[in-house]
Amino acid sequence: MTRESILKGNTALGIEFGSTRIKAVLIDETKAPIAQGSYEWENRLENNIWTYSMDDIMTGLKECYRDLAENVKKEYDVVLTTVGSIGISAMMHGYMAFDEKNDLLVPFRTWRNTMTQQAAEKLTALFHYNIPQRWSIAHLYQAILNGETHVSEICFLTTLAGFIHFKLTGKKVLGVGDASGMFPIDTETGTYYESMVTKFDDLVADKNYKWKLKQILPEVLSAGEEAGTLTEEGAKLLDVTGNLQAGIPLCPPEGDAGTGMTATNSVAVRTGNVSAGTSVFAMVVLEKELSKVYPEIDLVTTPTGNLVGMVHCNNCTSDLNAWVNLFQEYGEAMGLKADKNDIFATLYNKALEGDADCGGLLSYCYLSGEPITDFEEGRPLFVRMPDSKLSLSNFMRTHLYSSLATLKIGLDILFKQEGVTLDNLMGHGGLFKTKGVGQKVMAAAASVPVSVMETAGEGGAWGIALLADYMKQKQQNETLEQYLNEKVFCGGEASTIAPEQKDIEGFDKFIALYQKGLIIEKAAVEAMKP
């Protein structure tokens, strides 16, 4: 059955460029992954700019596809010559500017760079709309403020996903979700806010550039629309063996936020998802615009253009993992050998025995800066009062709370100040690996039921494969929400944990102390200079 699907091209291919891994997923008619490929890569700091070189990007694309094709050959004894549709996804935001020959003008500036504060603040004030430092428009305006000469030569500005899609199809387009991380999107029109585009053009009019903003931004497309076909050149670029045929349709390229929403069935209004690992972010699909601008809340969109409130935090489980490693080291010193997963499970479950407010213990998991609480640097920190209840259960619960504390500060703005209503949060990432524990803590933090599905672990490459399949296979007037509910997640088993009132009250008490104690974290940053 699967082999026949591959031979007939009844498949969809998704490729996503993550920060440390490029992943390819091939799905069949059941929407389940049938083959995968991957390629490890890493960004580099060059001239104080976090970047990936063009060689990195092109090599990664080819090697990831090669790994997938070899997997198909090994598992099904089929040489991959065609697929039903293709989707490209990548890390959102950043800055890729090209000249009239489609040559990159300056090295790719990724989302990780925090070099655009002046531009971000000025544009936020001008637009009355939160413009984070990592957004493409902030990078463009900062380059203008810096007087960088390349700006006058720009003919095309896009994201990493948009660039890969252009190389495969020749089309300068972008999915609305990815585009919403370049420039604010008007959810009524499904494209860039005209009034803000005009304000930006007026702002830089004295520079007399040969371009206007809309001329250099990619065309915005919504999920389900066709975004071009694989060209002969694109096919040879993707598959160096020459086996892959041209003419395959591609869906709009999307960002990792949109593919994460798709992979967790969180694209409908009043749904949301939270990804918790090294960093943590939550995305909540909103019913209406927020009443004012909040620097803690990014406004992006789903792949269909619905407004999303996004809370993004730089720090989550790294400090917690370090403490678990310390306990493992202690156990080994005592002659005890245990599987790492068992150690995590034991300590995480021990946390559930702790006091709901952590017994007066406090920790900060800031290995790096944290914009939501206004930290440019971080210092991992644990502190307690002399009469605090120091126990293993309270200690572990404190560090689980700390991993989500900054996220809770942002979510409280949505839920408590803006009155946003959410039916369910879908959790995915390492924090939720130990069954029930991360869910219970997240439910207490957000005061919302939290669900985890096995398929959520498939990630963004599966999400963009689903978007590619939706474009090719959707019925007339079938929405993405209907497609996901009825054809993808209809048989999925989900574990859901509702928040308990005592846990909600305990986390609220903890977060009140946490916010008072931020002055301690600031003192640590000042006192402990490298």
If DSSP states are collapsed to H, E and C, what string results for 197-237? HHHHHHHCHHHCCCCCHHHHCCEEECCCCCCCECCHHHHHH
Residue with tokens 């020749």: 170
Q: Is residue 413 part of a domain?
A: yes
Residues 94 and 53 in one domain: yes
Q: Is residue 260 part of a domain?
A: no
103-127 pLDDT, tens digit per residue, is: 999 999 998 888 999 999 999 999 9
Pair of tokens at residue 443 = 């439910």
Residue with tokens 């104080």: 48
CATH code for the domain in which residue 100 is found: 3.30.420.40
Pair of tokens at residue 8 = 């007939």
Residues 233 and 274 in one domain: no
Give CA separation, 445 vs 406, 435, 440, in Å.
10, 17, 9
Give the residue numbers spanning the domain of 186. 2-252
Q: Is residue 406 part of a domain?
A: yes
Q: How far apart are CA 164 and CA 90, in angstroms?
A: 9
Residues 228 and 336 in one domain: no
Residues 148 and 279 in one domain: no
Q: Is residue 130 part of a domain?
A: yes
220-237 pLDDT, tens digit per residue, is: 999 999 999 999 999 999
Residues 207 and 296 in one domain: no
Residues 106 and 241 in one domain: yes
Whether the Cβ atoms of residue 135 and residue 119 lie closer than 8 Å to each other: no
Among the candidates 227, 252, 277, a domain finishes at 252
Among the candidates 217, 252, 287, a domain finishes at 252
95 bridge partner residues: 109
Dihedral, CA of residue 473, residue 475, residue 477 and residue 479, to nearest 10: -50
In this structure, how many other beta carbons lie within 10 angstroms of the beta carbon of residue 395? 22
Residues 195 and 311 in one domain: no
Q: Is residue 61 part of a domain?
A: yes
**How many domains is the chain partitioned into structurally?**
2
The pTM assigned to this predicted structure is: 0.88
Among the candidates 224, 252, 280, a domain finishes at 252
Q: How far apart are CA 48 and CA 449, in angstroms?
A: 42
22 bridge partner residues: 17, 39
What secondary structure letter does DSSP report for 368? S
For 405-438, letters b (16+ CB in 10 Å) and e give bbbbbbbbbbbeebebebebbbbbbbbbbbeebb
Residues 320 and 218 in one domain: no
pLDDT tens digits for the chain (530 residues)?
899 999 999 999 999 999 889 999 999 999 999 999 999 999 998 998 999 999 999 999 999 999 999 999 999 999 999 999 999 999 999 999 999 999 999 999 998 888 999 999 999 999 999 999 999 999 999 999 999 999 999 999 999 999 999 999 999 999 999 999 999 999 999 999 999 999 999 999 999 999 999 999 999 999 999 999 999 999 999 999 999 999 999 999 999 999 989 998 999 999 999 988 888 989 999 999 999 999 999 999 999 999 999 999 989 999 999 999 999 999 999 999 889 999 999 999 999 999 999 999 999 999 988 989 999 889 999 999 999 999 999 999 999 999 999 999 999 999 999 999 998 899 988 899 898 999 999 999 999 999 998 655 568 899 999 999 999 999 999 999 999 999 999 876 789 999 999 999 999 999 999 999 999 999 999 999 87
Residues 345 and 289 in one domain: yes
Phi and psi, residue 156, nearest 5°: -155, 135
Residues 223 and 302 in one domain: no
Q: Is residue 225 part of a domain?
A: yes
Whether the Cβ atoms of residue 87 and residue 11 lie closer than 8 Å to each other: no
Residues 185 and 317 in one domain: no
Pair of tokens at residue 124 = 């936020």
453 bridge partner residues: 494
Q: Is residue 258 part of a domain?
A: no
Q: Is residue 76 part of a domain?
A: yes
Residue with tokens 């029109």: 189
Phi and psi, residue 404, nearest 5°: -115, 0
Residues 292 and 167 in one domain: no
- Concatenate the DSSP letters of all residues of 250-268 into one string: BPPPEEHHHHHHHHTT--S
